[in-house]
A = this chain, B = another copy of it.
Amino acid sequence: MTPMRQNDGFSDEERRGVYRAIYERRDVRSHFLADPVPNDVLGRILDAAHHAPSVGFMQPWDFLVIRDADIRQTVHRNFECASRRAAEAYHGERRKLYDSLKLAGIVEAPVNVCVTCDRARSKGSGLGRQTDPAVDVYSTVCAVQNLWLAARAESLGVGWVSILDLEQLKTTLGIPAALTPIAYLCIGYVSEFRSQPDLEEKGWETRSSLESVTHFDRWGVHDWCDHDGSEHGKGLKE
């Protein structure tokens, strides 16, 4: 049966754009160019972030845009120090590989954006947060992913730097004590988007199969019987 098509359906090319953004998005660390990001383009990707879903329509996020080179240098030193400490967890070949990875482009990317969550924001009146208070943080991450995909459509690379002392970052950026930094993003035009994630290309980790992480009706069931009982599908392939 062909499902009802909506009047507000996407054209094939519009739909392809969405999948291209999803599949061709990269966590960029190495390929930033110095070209400035125009205000209107930056405004578009921030507005995309601002239109993320949020629990109770709480919109718990703030976006701190950093272009100042001195501030980015200070954040870069924070990263270097945190990364040196993190490296101590690895030994032998793994340590060599870790040391060879480029994990941040804080200084090279002309724009950095710190995305925070205000967990005490009264907007939304707590709707949807009674059983799982963490959903405000989840809303903020949805904003990050919106920004990341819009950026890809604008040919902008984005890298998420998680190796940072967050308290020190808050001090550097003057973020109010009550707020939680969720993501520190490096943003800029790039010389290329690689076809694979860096960590896959460098041999740090492999991609798991979709089938191995998908279950049907019961945990651990990776195939399903079609809903009318008359046909057996093998996983997701028809």
Contacts and interface: CB of A to CB of B under 8 A. Distances in A.
Contacts of A218: 173-174
Of the listed residues A11, A129, A149, A214, the one surrounded by the most CB atoms of chain B closer than 10 A to its CB is A214
Q: Copy number in this complex?
A: 2
Contacts of A110: 227
Contacts of A35: 1, 3-4
Contacts of A214: 46, 62-65
Contacts of A89: 126, 130
A30 to B, nearest CB: 15
Contact of A213 (B61, B94, B131): B61
A154 B86 CA distance: 41
B103 A5 contact: no
B155 A135 contact: no
Interface string A170-186: 00011110000011000
A59 B173 CA distance: 30
B149 A18 contact: yes
A131 B164 contact: yes
A152 to B, nearest CB: 8
Given A124-B199, A138-B144, 4 more contacts: A3-B155, A6-B189, A8-B192, A175-B219
Q: When A and B form their complex, which 9 residue pairs have the shortest distance between CB atoms, in order from nearest? A: A14-B17, A17-B17, A43-B236, A141-B141, A145-B145, A57-B205, A18-B153, A57-B199, A86-B130
17 contacts: A11-B13, A14-B16, A18-B150, A22-B48, A22-B146, A23-B51, A25-B53, A36-B227, A43-B237, A53-B145, A64-B219, A89-B126, A110-B227, A124-B204, A132-B164, A137-B138, A142-B144
